[in-house]
Chains A and B, each alone.
Chain A
Amino acid sequence: MNAQVNSVLSFDQVNAYYGNAHILHNFSLSISEGESLALIGRNGVGKTTFVNALLGQARVRSGQITVAGKTRSLWRPYQPAKEGVMVVPQGRRIIANLTVEENLLLGNAVHRKGPWNVERIYQLFPILRERAHTPGAALSGGQQQMLAIGRALMGNPRLMILDEPTEGLAPVIVDQLGDIIRQVNEQGTTILLIEQNLHLVARVSRRYLAVEKGSVIAEGEVDPGRIEQLQQFVVV
């Protein structure tokens, strides 16, 4: 797969390892500016390894990763953000001893220009404004997820990658987050959603890639009315 002109992120035949464990096998994908893509698959098929390869946390032995037109085989963890790729990591990883506002400011470390700033994040998630000066550790799971998304948006990303954002959240909060992610996409930010929750995928994504054993095995349009067809890729 060649990097397209308007591709924000592409993996070309990437083989990634943890130590000697071969996790990603000739993994290829390309995500275009403005789209909303879902990466689906069961636990342990390599979805998070894909993120780790992008962040230089899994060892890429062959293949190339292109971010916003720049190709490298090894990316340092701080480099994708500079190219406008922000990650909402699995488990949220809110910095516990920083306040809500400091966590948001951290997201703006690369000073990319764009529409997002602290004020706009507070408009999107009013609860964060109320809790602006509490430490991140004191937030509920749902609030931490909002903060993780807000923090990523603070980097004014071209592409926001969300790694299992619904893990451990109540269904009503999942719906709220889904609406917000879709809204962010409609305002121009490309979205890559890594999920097993097909309900959220139906709400947010227009295209899907299914991963199994470290490779992409299927792809297609997401049809919200017939989402159960994707069950085979996520149910054990």
Chain B
Amino acid sequence: MLGISIFNGLVYGSLLIICASGLAMIYGLRRVVNFAHGALYMLGAYIGYSLSLHLNFWFALLLAPLVMLLLGMLLDKLVFHPLQERDPLSVLLVTFGLLLVLEDLVRATWGRASLSIEVPELLAGSVDLFGNPTPLYRLAVIGLGVGSMVALWAWLRFARTGLYVRAASTDPLTTAMMGVNTERVNALVVGIGTALAGLAGVAAAPLLSLAPSMGADVLVDSFVVVVIGGLGSLGGALISAFLLGQVQSFGTIYLPSLSAVLPFLMMIAILIWRPSGLAGNRV
């Protein structure tokens, strides 16, 4: 029982970190509190659904994030960039509007009925893990979460563009002064953040049913993760995503009546202890 709870917490934590790391990056660089992030996760899942119908799951997993990458870059160019001199509250409202538009767009395109993606054949079975039969697909989701975080970390740490992202998230003007086209860096980061939301959406699709409102829970939990981790910090988000995954998983079993508020209680407790989050202000 205990093992299964920890395991399910890890699965949810993995989905959360993929989604929340995108949110954290967009905030870190753009200082945009992106309320549409959950809707982008949902859109990614629906695009994945259509791609998996026409091609197969693997193409969906690969192509949906790519489509979302382009959409994200467009989002930066058409929305975040023109609004960058505005106060954060108006940008927040615009992203909230975008959430509503995206939900309606999905309803109009895919309908209201809940849909689902089949678990791909290769991962349909289960393996024995510490004496428990464990679905392979859930194991793969943990692998995907870890893999994408390692890739993201390596990119930020070792690649030239990663260096520019880290520099621009601290001091965009000085970074530009050195000749870095920060507008392009911004578009790339919003694109990657959006692609990560889409990736989480496709990966989550075989585990739950698709509905236009599915982004709401993930959005709220992602915000909790980003706030607990320290706004804009990826390392902090990683720790808090897995913490929140465990809190959710154990809460549902042992404190079902409180499970909905547990993430917020955790957030309050951590913010009292460390007001700027686990990682402070580091990226």
A binding-site residues for B, Cβ under 8 Å: 55, 57, 76-78, 80-82, 86-87, 89, 93, 95-98, 102, 105-107, 109-110, 151, 155
A106-B176 CB under 8 A given contacts A78-B181, A97-B283: no
Nearest A residue to B171, CB-CB:
A95
24 A-B pairs with CB atoms under 8 Å apart are A55-B173, A77-B173, A77-B177, A77-B182, A78-B176, A78-B177, A78-B179, A80-B177, A81-B177, A86-B177, A86-B178, A87-B177, A89-B177, A93-B171, A93-B173, A93-B177, A95-B167, A95-B170, A97-B170, A106-B167, A106-B180, A109-B180, A151-B178, A155-B178
Asked if A97 contacts B282 (CB within 8 A), the reply is yes
Q: Kindly count the residue-residue contacts between A and B in the assembled complex, taking CB atoms under 8 Å apart.
A: 67
A155-B171 CB under 8 A given contacts A98-B166, A105-B163, A106-B164: no
Nearest B residue to A94, CB-CB:
B174
Q: With contacts A76-B183, A98-B163, A155-B178 known, what are 17 further pairs, Cβ within 8 A?
A: A55-B177, A77-B173, A77-B177, A78-B177, A89-B174, A93-B173, A95-B174, A97-B170, A97-B282, A98-B167, A98-B170, A102-B167, A105-B163, A106-B163, A107-B178, A109-B164, A110-B179
Residues of A close to B252: CB separation below 8 A = none
Asked if B283 contacts A77 (CB within 8 A), the reply is no
Residues of A close to B174: CB separation below 8 A = 89, 93, 95
Interface residues in B117-166 (C-beta closer than 8 Å to A) = 160, 163-164, 166
Nearest A residue to B179, CB-CB:
A81
How near does chain A come to B88, taking the closest CB pair, in angstroms? 20
Asked if B178 contacts A81 (CB within 8 A), the reply is yes
Distance in angstroms between the alpha carbons of A77 and B175 in the assembled complex: 9
- Counting from the closest, the 3 A-B pairs by CB-CB distance are A81-B179, A110-B179, A77-B176
Asked if B170 contacts A78 (CB within 8 A), the reply is no
Residues of A close to B177: CB separation below 8 A = 55, 77-78, 80-81, 86-87, 89, 93
Residues of B close to A81: CB separation below 8 A = 177-179
How near does chain A come to B93, taking the closest CB pair, in angstroms? 25
Residues of A close to B282: CB separation below 8 A = 97
Asked if A109 contacts B178 (CB within 8 A), the reply is yes
